[in-house]
Amino acid sequence: MMHWMLISPELYYLTAAFWLLVACMTGPPKPKRDYFTALSLSAVGVIISLASVTLQGILFSQTYRIDLFAQVFKVMLASGLFLVVCICTELNGIRERYQRELYLLLFVCTLAMMMLVSSVHLLNIYISLELSSYSLYILVALRKQRDMGLEAGIKYFLIGIFASALMLFGIAMLYGATRVSHIEDLIQVLPGLVDNPAVIIGLLLTLSGFFFKLAVFPFHLWAPDVYQGASNQVTAYIATASKVAAIAILLRLIALTGDGSVYLVHVMVVLSIISMTIGNLAALVEQDLKRLLAHSTIAHAGYVLIGILSMNDAGYSGAVFYALSLLVMKFAAFLVVVQVAGDGRNLRIEQLAGLHRRSPVLALTLMISAFSLAGIPPTIGFTGKFLVFAAAMQRGYFTLVLIAMINVVISLYYYLLVIRAAYLLEPREEPADVRISPALKSLSIAMTCLMVVGGIFPHYLIELARAAVRGLM
Amino acid sequence: MQMEFAGFPYLSAILLSCLAGLLLILFIPREKQLQIKWVSAIFSGITLLLAIYLFFAYDKSRGGLQFVEKLEWIPYLGIQYLNAADGFNLPNLLLTGIVFFTGVLTMWEMRERVKEFFALYFLLVIGVYGLFMTMDLFFIFVWYDVSLIPMYLLIAVWGTTRKEYAAMKLTLYLLAGSALILPAVLYLVVNSGFNTFDIVALMRPGTFTPSQQKFAFILLYLGFGILAGVWPFHTWSPVGHVAAPHAVSMVHAGVLMKIGAFGVLRVAIFLCPQGWQHWAELMALLAAVGIIYGVLAGLRQTDLKYVIGYSSVSHMGIVGLGLSTLTVDGLNGAVLQMFAHGVMTALFFSSVGYIYDRTHTKAIAELGGLSRIMPVASSYFIVAALASMGVPGLANFWAELLVLISAFRVYPVRGLLAIIALVFSALFMLRVVQQTFYGPNNEKYATLQDVTFGLGMPRMILVAILVLFGLYPSLMLDMIETASIPFINGLP
């Protein structure tokens, strides 16, 4: 019996998904009621994953591991789902017929990602990754503007299966070189074999599946199109929860290599630099806010990689902290996008004009999240960057940190353009005030406070992140 | 270095009163503009009083760090909330208090989005105060950037000439500075072998090898130098000064540029003294070029605020020159110049602010003959101009004298060029004064009111301070010496 308690969050999300599946088959959607059902289901999910945060154990013939690292990420994923469901009050961007399926797929995807962060067997990882990816492919295609959604869905799918194929190939090579596929066993063998070319290539190809999820160069091409094509809520989910899961599993795999091989580090340094540079440069000319955020995601993937490739305690905990900060600040930005684009369409930057009068709260949230994304203190985004940069410096990667800081300067330019639109531009014709319910208003204020307080008093979060990675090493 | 824990945390009290003022402003309804201004004046006044108290309560005979406040912030990384006062930062804290308070008074007539303006203005000053009082590298970086966020909005929303361009340029330049500072700071901390960001712990001799010091120093010098307006990274500063609203120009030219110079002193010079000795020649060269360039560029300006902007570049060059001499006199002069130039520039922008609010122009050619229409308002500007020329009796005289004498000894050619440039600066200031205030009357402005006693208050305070420290420079120099003499004597 105790056995099953260990995976109570997963079991819960499985049950919830079944329930939603049954609901999908019984009649047309009732937006209001469905929303509250999904909201309460996801809220309970957060509570359950919080309650199970201290559980420890290993299940299913050593392929599934419950430790603090996995549980912390499960809490983040559950919170991510809850937050995204919160902003689903008006699903104008989704075809009416499929509004219930949206919730179903979100729950399934969260379940898959929870499985992903606990998996310690390569096949297990692959299956969870695919389950979450397939849910996302469909979610993207649910867009009301059918052409956009389908186009984005197909692009996402094609690049996704390509990355999956590479990943399978990599897993096969790893297995061929080491004869093991349990991560536990890999930990034993890998550090000795890490200079073997087959192992390096196998590992890199395996990682490419996660690079795809995280939108790291050269698997970043889907991001702008998918962000633009998917409905605003789905984009918010991809930008937050899905990134968090990708960071988690990357950490788990990289931590395997012990001190790491020089080749692996070099490859990752190059990927990191290219990701942040092209992400930031491409964002400079972007007019669509969601595409801009997509490019900024690519850049952030580069920053996270800095923490991961440092391969020390500080770098890993920095990356965990970074995942958390990404969740908070990306969500805050999308909260504003969803509310301002009430009709469910995409949002161009100039449509933010006059936001400080139309909704001061949203304008403030947008400003703080933009500063946080840019990494300006005292926000949580700065602390995340500081931690990964400090970790990289401990390994002596001075140039990498310098390049990353130059990138921060470049990125501030386009974040300032967003802030400028919200605070300085005057709209040509006065658009209607942004309607925002009291609940969402408080959520928006809460996110703002979280970004600032998390930046000023990061001590406990850092300690949590350090405790979480202790099991990895 | 002596350490002690003071009783009442005066330094934090300064930050907290800023914060309290900020929160209070946020809770006042936006229509009650007068109330907002009074709250701003009272809370900025409190910080000024605290700064004055600290200035006089500092025990000069004992020297060293006093009023130390220490709190573990992020123990894992060795980051502490560590505030302290010494002879280098007390003048700057006092300066911040003066400019902050008089800035609020200067904006007394403002009408547009008052609440947001003062809230952001307080936030800006929190960053400035924080940077001057902290002894922790992490917090130096944080405070540096805290003052950056409100700056963009203050200039872009309330500014005037080419405001969006100026705001964007300024913000990106300053962040580019921090892009050099953060890697350098991390580099030093990691290479020190201690897990701490505490400047006092890191400045122990022998912590860093000479080559590490040379490497880190140049990064820190360039990073903070951008903010200090070091030539050739000064281009953001005149543009920014011109575009910013008056009080922000005052803080900006008066205090923010000092942050840069102070950062060079506190971080670069304190931590990397051998790097300092290595790069001093270059510092002197850039400073001398800055002095000459500022004067020459100022000669050609037609906008009153641009003139002040370029004179700031030139005067900040004097600070840089003082810092590059490696002598006690040079350091004393540099710190005194930070203070004196801050007060003087604040007076400049404050008086231009009054004139601009009436005439709505800053073009020198259009103003002509103002001294007959508003003699009092004009006289404030003229006092500032005299200070800028280095006329004896005002604080700037002593600062420039000290710097130039020591610079002339150490770098004769550069020192001589700087002196010649300052003669030209007198020429260009006199030209501006003559054209603006003694030219033919402009009929358009014949009916304008002169400044009243109440509105003239901030300028009177600033003039009084310039005169006070002009007549008693030892009041300030004794203070600075408590820090500069032990520091220079402790050099390897």
Segment A233-276, tens digit of pLDDT:
889 999 998 899 999 988 888 887 766 667 778 888 999 999 99
Q: What is the pLDDT of residue A473?
A: 66
What is the model's pLDDT at position B237? 84
Reply yes or no on whether the pLDDT at B7 is more than 80: no
Candidates A389, A402, A462; nearest CB to B76: A462
pLDDT tens digit sequence for B444-454:
777 777 777 77
Mean pLDDT for the stretch of residues B105-118? 84
* Residues above pLDDT 90, as percent of chain B: 10
Lowest mean pLDDT among A331-340, B137-146, B365-374: B365-374
Query: CB contact, 8 Å: B439 with chain A?
Result: no
- Contact between B48 and B97 under an 8 Å Cβ cutoff? The reply is yes
Residue A357 has φ and ψ, to the nearest 5°, of: -95, -35
Residue of higher predicted confidence among A403 and A97: A403
Q: pLDDT (tens digit, 9 = 90+) per residue, A99-124?
A: 888 888 999 999 999 989 888 888 88
Q: Is A449 within 8 Å of chain B by CB?
A: no
Q: Is the pLDDT of residue A347 over 70?
A: yes
Give the pLDDT confidence of A451-467 residue by residue, as tens digits.
Answer: 988 888 888 888 888 88
Distance CA A222, CA A241 (A): 17
User: Smallest CA–CA separation between B162 and chain A, in Å?
Assistant: 13
- Amino acid letter, residue A310: S
Residue A382 with chain B: CB contacts under 8 Å? 142, 145
Token digits for A164? 């999956």
Q: In the predicted model, what is the mean pLDDT of residues A184-206?
A: 78
pLDDT on residue A2: 56
Task: Look at residue B4 in the predicted model and tell me its pLDDT.
Answer: 46
Q: Rg for chain A (alpha carbons), in Å? A: 21
How does pLDDT run across B206-241, given as a tens digit for each residue?
788 888 888 899 999 999 998 888 888 888 888 888
Residues of A in contact with B190 (CB under 8 A): 390, 393-394, 396
Average pLDDT over residues B71-96: 87
Q: How confident is the model at residue B2 (pLDDT cuts 50, 70, 90)?
A: very low
Q: What is the pLDDT of residue A6?
A: 78
* Contact call for A377 and B146, based on CB within 8 A: yes
How much of chain A exceeds pLDDT 70, in percent? Answer: 98
Question: What is the structure's pLDDT at A331?
Answer: 92
Tell me: the pLDDT tens digits for B316-355? 888 998 988 888 888 899 999 999 999 998 888 888 888 8
Q: Is 50 exceeded by the pLDDT of residue A341?
A: yes
* CB pair distance less than 8 Å for A377 and B180: no
Q: Computed over its alpha carbons, how large is the radius of gyration of chain B?
A: 21
**In whole angstroms, what is the distance from residue B37 CA to residue B47 CA?**
15
The β-bridge relationship of strands B66-74 and A64-66 is: unpaired
What are the tens digits of pLDDT across the range A273-319? 999 999 999 988 888 888 999 999 999 999 999 988 888 888 899 99
Distance CA A275, CA A216 (A): 6
Tell me what the mean pLDDT of segment B13-34 comes to.
Answer: 88
So what's the pLDDT on residue B1? 35
Could you tell me if A455 and A372 are in contact, meaning their C-beta atoms sit under 8 angstroms apart?
yes
Q: What is the predicted pLDDT for the residue at A260?
A: 63
Report the 3 state secondary structure along chain B: CCCCCCCCCHHHHHHHHHHHHHHHHHHCCCCCHHHHHHHHHHHHHHHHHHHHHHHHHCCCCCCCCEEEEEEEEEHHHCEEEEEEECCCHHHHHHHHHHHHHHHHHHHHHCCCCHHHHHHHHHHHHHHHHHHHHECEHHHHHHHHHHCHHHHHHHHHHHCCCCHHHHHHHHHHHHHHHHHHHHHHHHHHHHHHCCCCCEHHHHCCCCCCCHHHHHHHHHHHHHHHHHHHCCCCCCCHHHHHHHHCCHHHHHHHHHHHHHHHHHHHHHHHHHHCHHHHHHHHHHHHHHHHHHHHHHHHHHHCCCEHHHHHHHHHHHHHHHHHHHHHCCCHHHHHHHHHHHHHHHHHHHHHHHHHHHHHHHHCCCEHHHHCCHHHHCHHHHHHHHHHHHHHHCCCCCHHHHHHHHHHHHHHHHCHHHHHHHHHHHHHHHHHHHHHHHHHHCCCCCHHHCCCCCCCHHHHHHHHHHHHHHHHHHHCHHHHHHHHHHHHHHHHHCCC
> Quick check: A395 contacting B, CB < 8 Å?
no
Residue A146: pLDDT over 80: no
Task: Report DSSP state, residue A379.
Answer: S
- Number of Cβ within a 10 Å radius of residue B142: 23
Residues 418-447 of A with CB under 8 A from B: 419-420, 423-424
The pLDDT value given to residue A259: 67
What mean pLDDT is predicted for residues A340-360? 82
Q: What is the pLDDT of residue B3?
A: 42
A-chain residues near B180 (CB < 8 A): 402, 405
Count how many pairs of residues, chain A against chain B, have C-beta atoms within 8 Å.
79
pLDDT: which is higher, A368 or A32: A368
Cα–Cα distance list, B9 to A58, B16, B67 (Å):
52, 10, 7
Burial class (CB in 10 A: 0-12, 13-18, 19+), A33: exposed
Res. B14: pLDDT tops 70? yes
What is the per-residue pLDDT across B454-490, written as a single tens digit (0 to 9) for each? 778 888 888 898 889 888 888 888 888 888 888 888 8
- Residues of chain A positioned with their CB less than 8 A from the CB of B138: 386
Q: Would you call B153 and A419 a contact, using CB atoms and an 8 Å cutoff?
A: yes
Query: How confident is the model at residue B475, as a pLDDT?
Result: 86
User: What is the mean predicted confidence (pLDDT) over A176-194?
Assistant: 77
Q: What is the mean pLDDT of residues A221-236?
A: 88
What is the nearest CA distance from A418 to chain B, expressed in angstroms? Answer: 12
Q: How far is CA A14 from CA A9, A10, A130, A151, B374, in A?
A: 9, 6, 16, 30, 80
The pLDDT of A3-28, averaged and rounded, is: 84
Q: What is the pLDDT at residue B5?
A: 54
Q: Which residues of A421-453 are buried (b: 16+ CB within 10 A; e: fewer)?
A: bbbbbeeeeeeeebebeeebeebbeebbebbbe
Residue A329: per-residue pLDDT: 92
* pLDDT of amino acid A278: 92
Does residue A5 register a pLDDT over 80? no
Confidence band, pLDDT 50/70/90 cuts, at residue B357 = confident
Closest to A425 in 3D by CA, of B115, B157, B149, B244? B157
A390/B186 Cβ within 8 A: yes
Write down the mean pLDDT value for chain B: 85
Confidence of residue A403 (pLDDT cuts 50, 70, 90): very high
For residue A65, give the H/E element and its range. Answer: strand A64-66
Q: Where are the domains of chain A?
A: 2-470
Enter the pTM of the model.
Answer: 0.89
- What pLDDT was estimated at residue A404? 92
